[in-house]
Structure 1
C-alpha cells in the first residue's frame, strides 16, 4: 500500500534527495510569475477601463472567468501531473501562460481580453497541483511544510508585485507590464527545461503510475474519505476570503481612503504579502517541528492560523482608519499563510499518495468557483452602489468555520 502519512518515516527516509532544495528554488520564481501574471490586472482597473470601456461587473468578470476556467480544469490538470511527468507539466504550463500574458498586452476589445483570461486560466491550472506534488515527492519527511512554505513565498511575492501593475499602467500604459512579464516567463521556461527533474521515486515509478492511475478511481478514492469533504469545504471558504481580497481590496482601499490607483494597489498587496512571506516561513517551520511529536501538529498550526486571521480581515473591513486597515491585512496575511503552507501536507495525510495532485486540483476547482463567484458579486454590489466591505465581513465568518472544520479532520490510517 502506498505511504499515506510520511511524517512517520524513519530518519533516513525523511532526508530529502540532494536536488530537493534546488527544485524548491527553481519553482519559487515560477510561482512568483504565476501569481504576478494573474493578479496585476486587478490593480490597473482605471487604466484598463479607460482603454477598453466596460462596467465594474464586466471588470469583475475578467477575474471570474479566469477562476472559472482555472477551477474547472484543475482536477484534470492535477490528474495529468499524477499520471505524467510533473516537471514537464510545469514547464509547458509556464510557457503557455507566459505567451498568453504577452498576448494580453495586444488586446483592444473586452472580448479579446476575456478570451486571454480564459486561456490564462487553462494554462495556469496545470501549475500549482504539479508543483506542490513535486515538492511533496522530494520532501517526504519533516521538511515538507517548510519546503512548500518557501515555494509559496514566490506566490506571495508575485501577489505583492501585482501592485506594480497599477504603477506601471499609470506611467507606461496598461499593456506594458503584460508584455514585460510575458517575455520574462518565456525565457525562464527555457532555463528550467534544463534544471527541473522529477523526484527519483516518482520518475522510477512513472510507468507503474501510468498503468495504475486513472481519473475516476482517483475521484472515488478522494471522495471516499470523510475528511476530504471537510478539506474541500474549508478550501472553498479560503478561496472566498483570498480571492475577495485579491479581486476587490485595491478598489476598496482606493475609494474608502481616497488613494490613487497605484497607491491603493501597493497598500492592498505589498504589506499583505510581506506579512504572508513571514507567515509561510514561520508556519512551515513550526508545523514541521510540531509534526515530529504530534501526528496532528500541522492541523493544529492551521487551526490557530484561521482563528487569528478572521479578526484581522474583519478589522480591515470595519475601520475608517487606513493604518488599522493595513494592520488588519498584515494580521490576516501572516495568520492565513500558516494554513496555506499546510494544505498539501494535510492533503497528504488524508488521501492516497498516488492522487495528491488530483486531490489538490479538486480543492482548487471548488475554491476557484467560490472565489470567482465572490469577485463577480463584488462587481454587482459596486454597480448597485453597495460597499464591498460586506464580502470581507462574510469572509471573516468563513475563516472561523474553517478552523472548526480543520479541527475535525483525522489522518487516514
Structure 2
C-alpha cells in the first residue's frame, strides 16, 4: 500500500472516530433546551432561570475554551479529547439525578468545562492531517456529527413525554462513558511532524509562560484573525439564542406541541446545518483550488442570504414560511462550521491552531450565553422571541461583512505536513514518532 493511501486511511479514521464524539457532544448539550416544560415544572422555575441553564453552560464553555485550546496545543490532543468525553458524559448522567435548580446549574457548569476541551483539540487534530483538497470536507464531516447530535436532541421533547425527562440524560451519559473507554483502546496515536518541525515546536514550548504569551499575542495581533473573532462573536450572539429559544418560540408563541416544537426548532435548524455543511465543504475545497479566500467567502455569502430569512422568522406567523426560513438560517450556520477552522488556518500559525479555535469558541459562546439570557429576560417582560430573532438578523449581516474582510497570510499558508497516524513508530534520526497529538 502506498504511503499516500496509508495517510488517507489514517486521516479519515480519525475523522470517523471523532464523528461519534461530536455527536455525543451536541446531543448531550441540546437535551435541556428541548424539554423546557417538564424541567421547569419539576424544578419550579420560569423562563429566565431556565434560560440561565443554557447561559451558564455557554459562559463557562466560552471562558474555558482558550485555555483548553492552549492545553491541547501544548500537551497533546488525543488525551484531551478522551478525558473531555469521559468527564462530560459523567456530568450528563448527573444531570438526570439532580433534584434542584442549583444542582442542575452545577451539572451544566461541569458540562461546560469538560466540553470546552473537546472541540479545539479535535478540529486542530483533523486539520493536521487534512489540507488542501480535503480540509473543509474533513472538518465538515466531523462537524456534521455536531448537527446529527443536535438534530437527534430535537427528539428530546417527544422522549420526555414518553419516558420522563431524566431518562434521556441517564442513557446518554452512560453511552458516552462507555465510548470514552473504547477510545482509550482504539484511538490512533498519531506520528506527527518531522524531527525539524518537532524541534521547532519543542523550542517554542520550552517556557510555559513564554509559550502562553507568544500564542495569544501572535493570534490577537493578526488582522485576519481579528476579523474572525469579531465575526464569531456576532455569530454566537445571533444564533445561540435562536437555537436555544426556537422550541419555546414554537410552543409558546405559535401554539405548537412540545414534541413538534423540538422537531420544528432544533431538529429543523440543525438538520439544515448538516446539509449546509456537506454542501459548503465541497464548494470550499473546490473553490480554494484557485482562490485561497474561499474558506471565508463561502460562509460570508451564506450569512448574506440568511439575514433576511432570520428577520422573517420574527415577522410572519405562517408556520411553513417560518420553517423555510429556519432551514435557510440553519444551512448558513453549516456553511460557517465547515469553514471556520479552515479559514483560521489561512491566518494563524500552525502551532497555535487549537488555541485559535478556543478563542473563537470563547467569544462566540460567551456572547451567545449573554443573548440567550437576555432573550429569556425579555420574554419575562412580554417581549416576544420574534423580536430577539429580528435583532439576530442584523448581527448575522454584519458577521458576513467581517468574513469578506478576512485575507489569508503567506506565513499561515505555509505549514509542515503531518505523518501517517496509522504508520508504526520507527526509530532513527528521521523517523522517530511523537505522541504529542
Q: Taking structure 2 as the reference length, what is the TM-score of the superposition?
A: 0.89
The 3 A distance-change label for structure 1 pair 346 and 14 is farther
In the TM superposition, what are the counterparts of 1:14-413 in structure 2 within 5 Å? Answer: 17-202=8-193, 209-213=201-205, 214-413=211-410
The 3 A distance-change label for structure 1 pair 14 and 317 is farther
Deviation at 1:308, TM superposition (A): 1.3
Deviation at 1:195, TM superposition (A): 2.4
Q: Secondary structure at the match of 1:197?
A: coil
Q: Deviations over 1:26-83 (max 9, x none)?
A: 1111101100101110110110111111121111111111111100010000001101
* 8 Å contact from structure 1 (residues 39, 246) kept in 2: no
The 3 A distance-change label for structure 1 pair 198 and 412 is farther
Deviation at 1:192, TM superposition (A): 1.7
- Distance in 2 between the 1:242 and 1:411 partners? 26
- Distance in 2 between the 1:91 and 1:206 partners? 23
Deviation at 1:335, TM superposition (A): 2.5
Q: Deviations over 1:240-271 (max 9, x none)?
A: 22211221111001122201111101110222
Q: Deviations over 1:201-236 (max 9, x none)?
A: 259766763542321110000011112111101001
- Distance in 2 between the 1:366 and 1:274 partners? 25
- Structure 1 window deviating more from structure 2 (13-22 vs 397-406): it is 13-22
- Distance in 2 between the 1:302 and 1:198 partners? 33
Aligned to 1:9: none
Q: Deviations over 1:111-166 (max 9, x none)?
A: 10000000000000000000100110110222000111111110001111112221
- Distance in 2 between the 1:187 and 1:207 partners? 37
Deviation at 1:393, TM superposition (A): 0.9
- Distance in 2 between the 1:336 and 1:263 partners? 22
* 8 Å contact from structure 1 (residues 134, 199) kept in 2: no
- Distance in 2 between the 1:389 and 1:199 partners? 48
Deviation at 1:95, TM superposition (A): 0.3
Q: Secondary structure at the match of 1:200?
A: coil
Q: Secondary structure at the match of 2:346?
A: helix
- Distance in 2 between the 1:104 and 1:249 partners? 22
Deviation at 1:348, TM superposition (A): 0.5
Deviation at 1:388, TM superposition (A): 1.5
- Distance in 2 between the 1:301 and 1:274 partners? 19
* 8 Å contact from structure 2 (residues 243, 269) kept in 1: no
- Distance in 2 between the 1:76 and 1:195 partners? 27
- Distance in 2 between the 1:210 and 1:129 partners? 20
* 8 Å contact from structure 1 (residues 67, 369) kept in 2: yes
Larger Rg: 2
Q: Deviations over 1:314-347 (max 9, x none)?
A: 2222110111111001111112311221110110
- Distance in 1 between the 2:271 and 2:62 partners? 26
- Distance in 2 between the 1:63 and 1:198 partners? 35
The 3 A distance-change label for structure 1 pair 203 and 54 is farther
Give the number of aligned pairs: 402
* 8 Å contact from structure 1 (residues 31, 152) kept in 2: yes
The 3 A distance-change label for structure 1 pair 346 and 384 is same
- Distance in 2 between the 1:51 and 1:81 partners? 39
Q: Secondary structure at the match of 2:407?
A: coil
Q: Secondary structure at the match of 1:318?
A: coil
- Distance in 2 between the 1:54 and 1:139 partners? 46
Structure 1: stretches of 5+ with no match in the other structure:
1-11
